[in-house]
Amino acid sequence: MDFAYPEKVNELRTRVTAFMERAIYPNQQTYHEQIAVSGNPHHHAEIVDELKAQAKAEGLWNLFLPDKEYGMGLTNLEYAPLAEIMGRVSWASEVFNCAAPDTGNMEILAQFGTAEQKRQWLQPLLNGEIRSAFAMTEPDVASSDATNIQLTIERDGDSYVNYVLNGRKWWISGAARERCKIFIVMGKTDPHNPDRHHQQSMILVPRETPGVTIKRNLPVMGYVDNEGHCEVLFENVRVPASNLLGTEGSGFAIAQARLGPGRIHHCMRAIGGAQYALELMCQRAASRVAFGKRLIEQGVIQEWIAQSQLEIEQARLLTLKAAWIIDTQGKKAAQNEIAMIKIVAPQALTNVVNRAIQVFGAAGLSDDFPLASMWAHGRTLHIVDGPDEVHKRSLARSIIRQHTS
Amino acid sequence: MDFAYPEKVNELRTRVTAFMERAIYPNQQTYHEQIAVSGNPHHHAEIVDELKAQAKAEGLWNLFLPDKEYGMGLTNLEYAPLAEIMGRVSWASEVFNCAAPDTGNMEILAQFGTAEQKRQWLQPLLNGEIRSAFAMTEPDVASSDATNIQLTIERDGDSYVNYVLNGRKWWISGAARERCKIFIVMGKTDPHNPDRHHQQSMILVPRETPGVTIKRNLPVMGYVDNEGHCEVLFENVRVPASNLLGTEGSGFAIAQARLGPGRIHHCMRAIGGAQYALELMCQRAASRVAFGKRLIEQGVIQEWIAQSQLEIEQARLLTLKAAWIIDTQGKKAAQNEIAMIKIVAPQALTNVVNRAIQVFGAAGLSDDFPLASMWAHGRTLHIVDGPDEVHKRSLARSIIRQHTS
Amino acid sequence: MDFAYPEKVNELRTRVTAFMERAIYPNQQTYHEQIAVSGNPHHHAEIVDELKAQAKAEGLWNLFLPDKEYGMGLTNLEYAPLAEIMGRVSWASEVFNCAAPDTGNMEILAQFGTAEQKRQWLQPLLNGEIRSAFAMTEPDVASSDATNIQLTIERDGDSYVNYVLNGRKWWISGAARERCKIFIVMGKTDPHNPDRHHQQSMILVPRETPGVTIKRNLPVMGYVDNEGHCEVLFENVRVPASNLLGTEGSGFAIAQARLGPGRIHHCMRAIGGAQYALELMCQRAASRVAFGKRLIEQGVIQEWIAQSQLEIEQARLLTLKAAWIIDTQGKKAAQNEIAMIKIVAPQALTNVVNRAIQVFGAAGLSDDFPLASMWAHGRTLHIVDGPDEVHKRSLARSIIRQHTS
Amino acid sequence: MDFAYPEKVNELRTRVTAFMERAIYPNQQTYHEQIAVSGNPHHHAEIVDELKAQAKAEGLWNLFLPDKEYGMGLTNLEYAPLAEIMGRVSWASEVFNCAAPDTGNMEILAQFGTAEQKRQWLQPLLNGEIRSAFAMTEPDVASSDATNIQLTIERDGDSYVNYVLNGRKWWISGAARERCKIFIVMGKTDPHNPDRHHQQSMILVPRETPGVTIKRNLPVMGYVDNEGHCEVLFENVRVPASNLLGTEGSGFAIAQARLGPGRIHHCMRAIGGAQYALELMCQRAASRVAFGKRLIEQGVIQEWIAQSQLEIEQARLLTLKAAWIIDTQGKKAAQNEIAMIKIVAPQALTNVVNRAIQVFGAAGLSDDFPLASMWAHGRTLHIVDGPDEVHKRSLARSIIRQHTS
């Protein structure tokens, strides 16, 4: 048992931190201005491409990908502390080509894709040339229960040449981006299979395929996100059978495989956000006076700072442990921990940011500081990937089995 | 001791509820569409004027104003349950000419205004022809402590003809509206007065006065509110001495006077919002299935519904009691209760809405339902009028005095 | 709507408060010493009889009983504030002959008892000569669901002369007292009745009846209560048929009837306890110094005091409203409110006392102050009368029905 | 970074677990009966000596002591998981000679004691022949601030032969035990030293020294603990100068040194208790039915189980990390983590046990199960070693320094 980051990780943390300080923090205003000026909330800020080139040149690129052939070959545990640092600023991960949902999509393409699928989609994603989306959630059912999914993927006649998709998805993150070229779509190929976890398949659908309509973007807690969270209609969308990812009926299993490392990433990014908010809160509290003393000298503010530190540090350790279990014993062994961090990391983020907003006063509600948008983003994490309650339920059932058998 | 609303109030509740059902709920989409179509988030939706005429014709107008000469002459306790009903939809109060900050401004004009001030500003406000703003908060100091205020109101030379204002305000709600014609501005006429609660004065500043610059609107938790919350610069703004509201040095006292009834109003509106969210949550939970049963049959959802009911009903009773004390014993006697409801009503609102969002899932994050914007609004209530913590501090000090003397 | 106590109530509050100050607070130590000296934790402290005589002489007696023939004829709303004052000290209610479980037992005897039952049991209870117990909870089933009850009440042969009871009860409060002469026992006379709410009956069992064995007293969170909470065995206990309270099958209904006013009483007592703890907390915090300033000047302590005040005042208002509904519209109409106060009053008590303990430091854990035992008592209130969760469930189901029909 | 326990630790965990299962759990009733039968709550249960002999024979003895000469030479990180297992049953640690306050006392004797002090006191403690107490807290001051301490330790005249102690201590845990032979007493040798952290010294006082009076035992949340928490009077207590532990003025420093490992121990024991309560809660919930289904199938119970698991696992990881920092970087470097676990471990214990009690219903309040006494013990941990709030304050100040320099 050892709580020290290995040398290699510390060296990377230093480099990523230096990059953040040199290239990200000072460009936060530029980033938002470039989008504002464009008049299009989904505009790709020019500064991002500029910084991507720098990060790539410095070898800070595709850090997330455990596959040594395609990525940096870091374990989940080694990558986690880097994800935390990137997560301090909402748009930083893309600069390192480490942004969701591409990361998860690249992972399953690397793991389950055919050579042709890899050539056509994985490679440009790895190069940072295109972006992608993952289409799972549907508006008409409680999608937290994956067996509820309704989009159909049917063979086109008897020949096994094409599949036809029909259905409606929403909250398809990234779909509003111009560069988003490929959707990985979850649907049902075998809706009557008595084994409800083998009814689903995943299939690759290029964004420009006829029948795909991006109906609208959905704002999130007031924010129109740059990436966009879209409602997408699939009407008689025809794609070649070779676009199937993995085999028919393996959709649920691939979704599960995608979950583990993705969970580590977004939890560590959430923790990075919480940590950043805590630091901002301390700095603000040090600079403001009320009732004759600085906010940092007031008991309630101190209580908030202590409580924030407690939540962050505990969530961080648990997430690192989850990563370690995935690395050493596999995703299945980490099931409980993966559920646990889904609950605690967003909690830490929204709790800490909420306190920070209160310390900032009205300024914290505005966009003069990143807190309000961080909160909105954190709030979504309590719902996306399934609401917290679903994960608590799974966790409880597992704990009960363990202690009552 | 009697918990029944009097007959008069029940009759008004019936009428306001009927109006909401006939004219407000069915026009929610229209309202948002008219603003969206205009391309201007601060656009005055045409439907509002249409409905104002109806409300006025039906005598559902200026219900808030206890002054029998100018308003309906309801007590705070009588008006409170009506404010609750209007508060269910964010923009409904204006339809009844009962929207902040006009309500508070009309009250202090009625109470402290000269005949000329009443003629020029109170009357058109009562008619619903113009709107107003209240300029107190400043960006550079913790304004929760009113003695921190820095805007200066100086006599223009030795003659007592004009005042000159210099300073910067922000979070001036309503200032982005075209119809907003008058600002009531809080500043310091006597900054060196050893009695720190007599340094301040209030003064009327027409929005078009030279030197007044609306720098920008501030978004709130992601939302660009229709009313706008503006940063306003006052540079050598000259207004006649007759624009002073009350006497020099009475600014703090007028602000206090404005607080009590205004607090009742916005707390009851918050409770109305919470109540509406609870009803939406029940309806949604009744219509969705997960893991083989309807959400309303799941223990955690039931727990949320029960907890929401508890918070709402308790906050409602406390707010009604605060109104009753103001009516029967005066604002000063109600000081503790006014502080208490400042804390519990926003808490009820954000807690209940937050649970409702979780029940709605991703849909709750979007603007397809009013929940996300209700949450954002509720969040601001923990800060505006002073952060909750300031009110807890005052309350505690009062309680301590009571039990240790 | 009116939040003032009527004159009559204020006069009684003054008298009860004066009695507390003159006779109860100064005798707290005496009370505990008399029990300690006796060597028997269930000893009847002599001071209690002395004070009972005084209270009776002053007409502060049976204040709880709404029946004008037998009691004082106060409504629930009129009695509630008196119960609050008595509830400040754990043993004070008995002095006024207003202690549970006698109060509820007297109520149902007055309401459902035969003339003979009243003569034999109600009268001596009203006189304060004997005490009683209510035997409902059973060790082997979740008794929060009354249909689970297993004790059998069977006719003794075909003749309708005697009933025979068999079963085991526990948590029979008061059964350890020497003066406890009568048990009201809930059991099943008709266990196969398809209507599960008509299977139960209530029957009077004198404590000395052969077959009744008091197996042991159960400590509560470490405390051996003076009244005792006993496990009682009923083995072939024979009582005359005339001992049935009400009719066969009416047990559930009588239990419900007993619930409403009893709930008001113990919730108001809980609120009295919370209020007392808040006052003690303020006084202690005013007298202790840490880190260079008095505890009352420290932000976290102030936050606790404010939060305590909020919880107490809100629970108080809700309980008073529940009493008012019972008085004006009946127990059935008050069902939701009766569930709600079951949840909030114990919460206020344990929360406030817990904070007070923390302010007292180690002293608060000891019996030098009443806080530790108040907490233990408060903790039981989350379970007795059904765990909070059962009441939240009922409340939620009622709220859902209301908003989804 | 590695979250696996090393082989050596796993082997010891297996052995300690086996001992618990073979010798501790089956003897829980015996333990309590032997005390009950003796009529003396401070009676030393015979079973303990029996089991001590077994544990010693098996080499499961003094596992806590990092000193290889006197103890087992385990690091804090290696011992921590063993403390967790022992902590599942309140009296188990003593069986392994790993019980507080002896552990901390043995540590400082080993570290700061003279050869003679070690011979006379450390050796019999290591052998499990005698027990000890640590006298720090005082009734008249807020002892959470150590500079408040008032007991005086004065040189007896000019000669440097004896010290004379005068003062009053309370909450001296273990002092009620017959076998408790030695007190380590904290007092002031130099009360006017301007450096307030050099005013204190520690000194060894045999329990039988004239002038030492054990005034009384203090119950804790209703429980008379076997070990006793005593109020002790020191009146002109004379001890030889050679009884000083370390040097004059080093009392505060020794107290700090004692803190780190002791904190690890009692936090891990608290976590062990929480873990045990969680297991009991699962088992009980699996065996009880309410409203037609088993408690483990009810959403709220599942929510509690999940939440408990989250709190336990996070507190465990943080405590293990604190131990690791102490081992690898020293106590000073671990200051923040030592403060953090002081807060989270007791929280996990009282939260989880409180939920378990609720699941057990009334049975959970009684002593038929260990939950009630576990809660009472857990509650004290929020106060002993300084209330949580003091540690939050220190933590916050440290975090603020870190982010604002």
Contact residues, chain B, for D302 at CB < 8 Å:
299
Inter-chain contact D306–A392, Cβ cutoff 8 Å?
yes
Instruction: Judge if C175 and C68 occupy the same domain.
Output: no
Distance CA C248, CA C154 (A): 11
Chain-centre distance of CA A61, in angstroms? 17
Regarding whether B216 and B83 lie in a shared domain, the answer is no
Q: Show the tokens assigned to D130.
A: 């005698």
Residue with tokens 């509003």: A176
Query: C-chain residues within 8 Å CB-CB of B359?
Result: none
Instruction: Answer yes or no: are the C-beta atoms of A201 and A187 closer than 8 Å.
Output: yes
The set of residues, in sequence order, having a beta carbon less than 8 Å from that of C330 and lying 6+ positions away, is none
If interface means Cβ-Cβ distance under 8 Å, which residues of chain A face chain C?
298-303
Same domain, A263 and A399: yes
**Nearest residue of chain D to residue A405 (CA atoms):** D283
Q: Return the CATH number at C83.
A: 1.10.540.10
- In the block, tokens 């569930």 appear at C339
Instruction: Say if residue B240 is in the same domain as residue B338.
Output: no
Distance separating alpha carbons of residues D317 and D89, to the nearest angstrom: 21
Residue B360 has pLDDT above 90, yes or no: yes
Nearest to D230 by CA among C219, B157, B336, C362: C362
pLDDT band at B258 (very low <50, low <70, confident <90, very high): confident
Question: Angle at the Cα of A137 (from A136 to A143), degrees rounded to 5?
Answer: 115
How many Cα atoms sit within 13 Å of B330 on the Cβ side? 3
Distance between C342 CA and the closest CA of chain B, angstroms? 11
- B112-133 in b/e form (b: 16+ CB < 10 A) is bbeeebbebbbebbbebebbbb
Say if strands C200-206 and C244-245 run parallel, antiparallel, or are unpaired. Answer: antiparallel
Contact A300 C303 (CB under 8 A): yes
Distance (Å) from the alpha carbon of A69 to chain D's nearest alpha carbon: 24
State whether A106 and A174 are in the same domain: no
Task: Count the helices and strands in chain B (H runs, E runs).
Answer: 14, 10
DSSP assignments along C172-195, one per residue:
EETTTSTTEEEEEEEEES-TT-SS
- Is B375 close to A221, i.e. CB distance below 8 A? yes
Cα–Cα distance, A83 to A94 (Å, whole number): 11
- B80 to chain C: closest CA residue: C1
Q: Which two tokens stand for residue D204?
A: 């060894």
Residue D176 lies inside a defined structural domain of this protein: yes
**Chain C residues within 8 Å of chain A (Cβ atoms):** 298-303
Which sign does the torsion angle of CA D4, D5, D6, D11 carry? negative
CA-nearest residue to C301 within chain A is A299
Q: Is it the case that residue D267 has pLDDT exceeding 80?
A: yes
Q: What is the pLDDT of residue A195?
A: 93
Q: Which residues pair with C237 in a beta bridge?
A: C165
Residue B160 has pLDDT above 80, yes or no: no
Q: How far is CA A94 from CA A85, A258, B37, C62, in A?
A: 13, 19, 34, 75
A344, part of any domain: yes
CA distance to partner chain A, nearest, from residue B326 (Å): 27
D198: pLDDT strictly greater than 90 = yes
Q: Answer whether residue C65 is part of any domain.
A: yes
Distance from CA of A339 to the nearest CA of D (A): 10
Rounded average pLDDT over D352-367: 96
At residue D206, the pLDDT reads: 97
| Residue at which a domain ends, from B106, B126, B146 | B126
Q: How confident is the model at residue D74 (pLDDT cuts 50, 70, 90)?
A: very high
Residue where a domain stops, chosen among B213, B233, B248: B248
Q: Which residue of A has its CA nearest to C298?
A: A299
Structure token pair of residue D180? 């408790």
Q: How many beta carbons lie within 10 A of that of residue C37, not counting itself?
A: 10
- From CA D388, how far away is CA D340, in angstroms rounded? 9
Q: Taking CB atoms and an 8 Å cut-off, how many pairs form between chains A and C?
A: 15
Is C404 or A143 the better-scoring residue by pLDDT?
C404
CATH number of the domain to which C304 belongs: 1.20.140.10
The pair of three-digit structure tokens given for residue B112, joined into one six-digit string? 């402290």
How confident is the model over D332-347, as pLDDT tens digits? 999 999 999 999 999 9
Q: Do B303 and D300 touch (CB under 8 A)?
A: yes
Please answer yes or no on whether D305 and A404 come within 8 Å at the CB atom: no
> Cβ–Cβ of B298/D299 closer than 8 Å?
yes
Average pLDDT, integer, range C386-401: 95
Q: How far is Cα A345 from Cα D16, in angstroms, rounded to an integer?
A: 34
Nearest CA in chain D to C292: D145
Q: Which of B297, B300, B307 to mutate to test the interface with D (most CBs of D within 10 A)?
A: B300
Residues of A in contact with D285 (CB under 8 A): 400
Q: At what angle do helices B28-38 and B46-57 cross, to 10 degrees?
A: 140
Secondary structure string (H, E, C) spanning chain D: CECCCCHHHHHHHHHHHHHHHHHHHHHHHHHHHHHHHHCCCCCCCHHHHHHHHHHHHCCCCCCCCCCCCCCCCCCHHHHHHHHHHHCCCCCHHHHCCCCCCHHHHHHHHHHHCCHHHHHHHHHHHHCCCCEEEEECCCCCCCCCCHHHCCCEEEECCCCCCEEEEEEEEEEEECCCCCCEEEEEEEEECCCCCCCCCCCEEEEEEECCCCCEEEEEECCECCECCCCCEEEEEEEEEEEEHHHEECCCCCHHHHHHHHHHHHHHHHHHHHHHHHHHHHHHHHHHHHHCEECCEEHHHCHHHHHHHHHHHHHHHHHHHHHHHHHHHHHHHCCCCCHHHHHHHHHHHHHHHHHHHHHHHHHHCHHHHCCCCCHHHHHHHHHHHCCCCCCHHHHHHHHHHHHHHHHHC
Q: Which residues of B touch A (CB under 8 A)?
A: 137, 139, 142-145, 148, 170-171, 218-223, 288-291, 295, 300, 357-358, 361-368, 372-373, 375-376, 379-380, 382-384, 387-390, 393
Residue with tokens 């131990």: D323
Which among A267, A328, A348, A335 has a CA at the least distance from the CA of A80?
A267
The alpha carbon of residue D65 is apart from the nearest alpha carbon of chain A, in Å, by 19
Q: Please give the Cα distance from D107 to D130 (Å, whole number).
A: 15
Q: How many CB atoms are located within 10 Å of the residue D208 CB? A: 8
Window from A126-140, B144-158, B228-242, D201-215 with minimum mean pLDDT: B144-158
Q: Are residues C142 and C286 in the same domain?
A: no
User: Which of chain B's residues have a Cβ under 8 Å away from the Cβ of A393?
Assistant: 291
- State the count of interchain CB pairs (< 8 A) between B and D: 16
B32 and B102 fall within a common domain:
yes
**Confidence grade of residue D385 (pLDDT, cut at 50, 70, 90):** confident
Separation of alpha carbons C252 and C246, rounded Å: 11
State how far residue D351 is from chain B, nearest Cα, in angstroms. 18
CB D200 within 8 A of CB D149: yes
Q: Is pLDDT of D289 > 90?
A: no
Which residues lie closer than 8 Å to A347 by C-beta, 6 or more apart?
A311, A315, A382, A388
**Secondary structure of residue C204 in the 3-state scheme:** strand
Q: Given a contact as 3+ CB pairs under 8 Å, which chains touch A?
A: B, C, D
Q: Do A365 and B387 touch (CB under 8 A)?
A: no
Closest CA of chain A from B284, distance in Å: 11
pLDDT at D315 over 90: yes
Residue D259, pLDDT above cutoff 90: no
Residue C58 in 3-state DSSP? Answer: coil
Both A147 and A94 in a single domain? no
Contact B381, B266 (CB under 8 A): yes
Gap between the Cα atoms of A204 and A108, Å rounded: 12
The sign of the torsion formed by the CA atoms of B144, B148, B149, B155 equals: positive
CA nearest to C297 within chain A:
A299
Partner-chain residue, chosen from B365, B375, B383, that has the shortest CB–CB distance to A383: B365
Residues A288 and A379 in one domain: yes
Do C108 and C169 lie in one domain? The reply is no
* Integer Cα distance of C343 and C270 in angstroms: 11
Q: Which residues of C touch A301 (CB under 8 A)?
A: 299
* Mean model confidence pLDDT for chain A: 95
Percent of chain A with pLDDT strictly greater than 90: 90
Retrieve residue A62's tokens: 């595709």
Residue D24 lies in a domain: yes
What confidence score (pLDDT) does residue D256 get?
86
Shortest Cα–Cα distance, D129 to chain C (Å): 30
Contact C197, C252 (CB under 8 A): yes
Q: Which residues of D touch C290 (CB under 8 A)?
A: 142, 144-145, 148, 390
Residue ranges making up the domain that contains B193? 132-248
Mean pLDDT (whole number) for D156-173: 90
Tokens representing C133 are 């117990």
Average pLDDT over residues B117-124: 97
Question: Is B242 found in the same domain as B165?
Answer: yes
- Specify if A2 maps to a domain: no
ipTM of model: 0.94
What mean pLDDT is reported for chain D? 95
CB atoms within 10 A of CB D263: 27
* Residue A1 belongs to a domain: no
CB contact at 8 A, C232 and C134: no
Among chain B residues, the shortest Cα distance to A361 is held by B383
Task: Check residue A56 and give its pLDDT.
Answer: 97
DSSP secondary structure string for all residues of A134-149:
EE---TTS-TTSGGG-
User: What's the confidence (pLDDT) of residue A289?
Assistant: 85
Instruction: Report the C-alpha dihedral over residues A237, A238, A239, A241, rounded to 10 degrees.
Output: 130
C319 within a domain of the structure (yes/no): yes
In a domain, B2, yes or no: no
DSSP annotation of C241 reads G
Chain D interface residues (partner C, CB cutoff 8 A):
137, 139, 142-145, 148, 170-171, 218-223, 288-291, 295, 300, 357-358, 361-368, 372-373, 375-376, 379-380, 382-384, 387-390, 393
**D4 with A1: Cβ contact below 8 A:** yes
CA-CA distance, D202 to D214, in Å (whole number)? 19
What is the tens place of the pLDDT at every residue in A168-203? 999 999 999 999 999 999 999 999 999 999 999 999
Give partners of C (≥3 CB pairs < 8 A).
Answer: A, B, D
Q: How distant is the Cα of A301 from the closest Cα of chain C, in angstroms?
A: 9
Nearest to C324 among B1, B310, B325 (CB): B1
Handedness of CA A307, A308, A312, A318 (dihedral sign): positive
Residues in D closer than 8 angstroms to C365, CB to CB, are 218, 220-221, 379-380, 383
How far apart CA A153 and CA A192 sit, in angstroms, is 13
- Cβ density class C65-93: b for 16+ within 10 Å, e for less: bbeeebbbebbbbbbbbbbbbbbbbbbbb
The predicted pLDDT at position C231 comes to 96
Predicted confidence at residue B341, as pLDDT, reads: 98
| CATH number for the domain harbouring residue B224 | 2.40.110.10
Strand locations in C229-283, DSSP E? 229-240, 244-245
Say how many C-beta atoms besides its own lie within 10 A of residue D206's C-beta. Answer: 14
Give the mean pLDDT of chain C.
Answer: 95
Task: Say if residue B225 is in the same domain as residue B269.
Answer: no
Asked if residues B357 and B364 have their Cβ atoms less than 8 Å apart, the reply is: yes
> pLDDT (tens digit, 9 = 90+) per residue, A87-102?
999 999 999 999 999 9
Q: In this complex, do A366 and B290 lie within 8 Å of one another by their Cβ atoms? A: no
Q: Flag if C305 and B400 touch (Cβ within 8 Å).
A: yes
CA end-to-end distance (rounded Å), chain C: 29
Residue that is last in its domain, among B226, B248, B270:
B248
Average of pLDDT values for B300-307? Answer: 98
Q: What percent of chain B has pLDDT over 70?
A: 100
Q: For residue A390, list chain B residues with Cβ-Cβ distance below 8 A.
A: 290
CB-based contact C397 B302, cutoff 8 Å:
yes
> Quick one: which of D107, D91, D110 has its CA closest to D52?
D91
Q: Chains near B, with 3+ CB pairs < 8 A?
A: A, C, D
Say yes or no for a CB contact (<8 Å) between D6 and A1. Answer: yes
The pLDDT assigned to C40 comes to 94
Nearest to C282 among B3, B279, B400 (CB): B400
Q: Measured between CA atoms, how close is C381 to chain D, in angstroms?
A: 10
- What would the mean pLDDT of A31-50 be, rounded to a whole number? 96
3-state secondary structure of A223: strand
| Total domains present in chain D | 3
Residue A142, pLDDT above cutoff 80: no
Q: Do the Cβ atoms of A218 and B365 come within 8 Å?
A: yes
Length of chain D: 405
Q: What is the rounded distance in angstroms from the CA atom of residue D42 to the CA atom of residue A402?
A: 37
pLDDT in tens, C334-359: 999 999 999 999 999 999 999 999 99
